[in-house]
A and B are shown apart, each in its own frame.
Chain A
Amino acid sequence: MLTSEVMLSTLKDAETGQRGFLLTGDPGYLQPLGTAQTKLDAELTDLDQTPLSTPMMAEEIVTIRALAKARITELGVTVALVSNGQGEAALRTVRSDDGKRIMDALRVKVDSWQAGARAELEQAQAHALWAWAGVIGTRAVALMLLGGVALTYRRASRAVTLTMASLKRFTQAFGLSHGMLRTKEGRITFWAEGMEQLYGYTAQEAVGQISHQLLGTQFSIPLAEIESAVRENGHWQGELIHRRRDGSFVVVASHWALYEGLPGAPAIVIEINNDITTQKNAEAALRDKEISLRLALDASELGFWYFLKTAERRETFWDERCKAIFGLPADHSVDYTTWLGMLHPDDRDGALAGPARASDPDDPNDDYASEYRVTRPDGRLVLVAVTGRALFQPDPEAPSSRRVRCTLGTMRDVTEIRAMERQQREHASALLQTIIDTAPGLIFAKDLGGRMLAANQAVLDLIGKPWDQIKGHTDQEFLDDPAESAVVMANDRRIMERGAIEEVEETVGSAGVSRRIWLSTKTPMRDAGQKVIGLVGVSVEITERKKTEERLQTLVHELNHRVKNTLATVQAIAMQTLRRADPMLRAALDSRLLALASAHDVLTRESWQGANLHDVISTALAPFRGRDDSGRDDTRFTISGPALRLQPRAALSLSMALHELATNALKFGALAVAGGHVALHWDIEETDTLRFRLIWSETGVRLPSETSHRGFGSKLIEHVVARDLAAKINLDFAATGVVCTVDALVSEIVPAEEMMEFPHVGRTPQVGRTGAA
């Protein structure tokens, strides 16, 4: 094998010489050719001598030999042609590529022969016929060399006859191989070319040195042990760390073989070192990766598994963690039946569905995830989460042109996690339920058909039925009063149709219980697409509030009634008391009391919030204003001014003032004479403040200038009303008729909340104007 390599190299040398001669015509190039021819002869002889165990290999050698001969002959022929001036012919021969074809054939043969030789050596190793074979397993070239030596030794049981020189010649065949020869003491006697590449030392530097000193060998086991192994077994192999010339370190796979040599000759150690630093680093990196992967798997508590299913074989692999999850010992063998048998019967279908779908060639999703319960051998039930993926291989005949080859994935024991999650969910849900149940109102959700989806305890209590009689039913079905349920359901339908939140008052009770009133806020419930799918409602009971409101209403009503009744009683007492008094006096008192009562009527109508000035005037003047025959308003009055709401106190005061003015006019003024006229005007004037000004002015009256009627009426106006309204009042009993002006701050006579209606200074009051009232 080695020889064959050398032979190829020799042929190359010969070719180089031939090419040099052909190109330059320089006969100097013919010398390497001649040398090569000689060398080839010797090498072919060596090749012949190589011990071979099979006839096939012998045949191979014959072919190699013939090809080598043919090649060297061809080279010789071209040289001869050129020498004889037949350059053209020589060139044709070269260009014919015959030479290349021969060389290619030769290369193929040599390779195959070498492979055969290697196989044979491996066989020898297997049979332990030759311990050395194991020494240098990786390097076919070296193996062939040593194999030759050993087989010869074994076969003939003779002393090895190779000389030191032939050994060296063989070792040259190491070529780029990294070998050295050294004495037993370690002194280097031969340093192959490859060693220089590996360590940086030239043969010159290395030869004669003690190798372990030169290379600073770091032994994985003590040197003495290695030497003892070499002595005992004739070889050793292991890993060493060497230091290069440049100081860097290199990890080598080192093979030592002891060659005793000729009797009497010194023993030689053959040491071949192969750089495995890269491989070591790669191994370390791979190991790191494996460790980190394992760490990751361990940290996530993931077990890894795969299930192989091909035409040839089915194989189930579970790592230890998978088995541990299933409660199986690490050495327990697992197959499909084992797995299926341990699944909870209720979960089997689910567990099978995922892988079946993922393995379906037509299904685009090759991944699945599922969870199922597993009954462990110890009886414990665990929840296992599995993620898997189906791997496919092309198969033109299968559906979707692919066939599942393997499913693989991870599994995890999620019993505790799920239990914890469930607990958290239950806790959150319980919390929510508690909040909902303790909320002081009804909380419920209904679907589009008005069927109850959810309800809190308050709802159940109100309806007086258990949840199972309410769930999925409508108000019509579970409420006792059909009238009540009809209203509720109509509200619900309207809110869901409009899709807008609404606040409604509803009456819902149960049979035998007094009616209860609820203020319900109902919100449409929507799906992800914003489509209304129901409603959520919250109802707060307002029965008491309503009752209070009603009571208050009744109270106000009753109070008004009482006031009127009291005025009636006062009137009655006064009339009875003054039974025999001056009828004029009785009438005056009577009419004043009635004016007061009428003003109260106005206020009662507005629940004492205030009174419209127009109403106050109309009521106060009603007894004085007649109608003509056609029903038209009394033309003796002109009344105009903007709409204005008065505080109750201002309304009462103005009523009384108007009553006195009108009474006076009826007795002595504009209403007592034909052609008399009363103009009543008011307005709001804006200066620094808003002021209310009202003028009562009579015309068409002619009175003696000295006439003065200042009595109770004028006192009432000038003092009582002035104080009540904080107004400046000017009451002028002029000969042409009474003129009374009232000037008050708007803020004094208008209810506080009505003041908001007035803009700030600089703008026209936003009050409507009306004509004659």
Chain B
Amino acid sequence: MDLTGQRVLIVEDEGIVAMVVEDYLEALGCTVVMVAARLEEGLAAARDHVIDLAILDVNLAGKVSYPIAEILRGRGIPFLFATGYGTAGLPLELRNVPVLAKPFRQIDLASAMVAAHSV
């Protein structure tokens, strides 16, 4: 699947990691809509922006990003989790969401994005 031109929302509280993801996405020909570092920011972005896909960090400065996932799901926008926790911590209703274990390679990100679209 061609990911070129995808409008992607990054929700990530660690700036340097977000930067790497931005690089990966640029390399993949995607457009980063916004990098949200906090839950509230992420919620607003998920509600208000036109997005093709979202990459969600689970832990946002101590708050979980699941409410953002709810909004995205409500809007039918595909998303994936990028986390250091692994799938074990995810709530049952989010178990089918693709999870990228940090750290990850560009190729891993690309396949996770493809997987997110096919869920």
Contact = CB atoms under 8 A, between A and B. Distances in A.
Interface in A5-62: none
A557 B89 contact: yes
Nearest to B23: A575
A568 B17 contact: yes
Contacts of B89: 557
A565 B20 contact: no
B104 A594 contact: yes
B89 to A, nearest CB: 7
B23 A597 contact: no
Interface string B1-24: 000000000000010110110010
Contacts of B104: 568, 594
B103 A573 contact: no
B16 A564 contact: no
A664 interface: no
A576 B86 contact: no
A563 B85 CA distance: 10
Contact of A572 (B16, B59, B83, B86): B16
Interface in B75-96: 83-86, 89
B36 to A, nearest CB: 17
A471 interface: no
A393 interface: no
A569 B14 contact: yes
Contact of B103 (A561, A568, A579, A605): A568
Contacts of B105: 590-591, 594
A476 interface: no
Contact of A593 (B16, B101, B103): B103
A559 to B, nearest CB: 10
A560 interface: yes
Contacts of B23: 575-576, 579
A572 B17 contact: yes
Most buried by A among B17, B84, B89, B101: B84
A562 B86 CA distance: 12
B19 A568 contact: no
Nearest to B20: A572
B102 interface: yes
B86 A604 contact: yes
A567 B20 CA distance: 12
A612 interface: no
Contact of B102 (A557, A567, A575, A579): A567
Contacts of A605: 86
A579 B104 CA distance: 16
A563 B23 CA distance: 22
A579 B27 CA distance: 12
A590 B17 CA distance: 14
B27 to A, nearest CB: 11
B65 to A, nearest CB: 14
Interface in A566-596: 567-573, 575-576, 579, 590-591, 593-594
Given A567-B103, A593-B103, A601-B101, A560 B20 contact: no
Interface of B: 14, 16-17, 19-20, 23, 59, 83-86, 89, 101-105
Given A567-B103, A597-B103, 7 more contacts: A560-B84, A561-B83, A568-B14, A568-B103, A572-B17, A572-B103, A594-B103
14 contacts: A560-B84, A561-B59, A561-B83, A562-B84, A568-B14, A568-B20, A568-B103, A572-B17, A576-B16, A591-B105, A593-B103, A594-B104, A597-B102, A605-B86
Interface of A: 557, 560-565, 567-573, 575-576, 579, 590-591, 593-594, 597, 601, 604-605
Which 3 pairs from chain A and chain B are nearest by CB? A564-B84, A568-B103, A572-B20
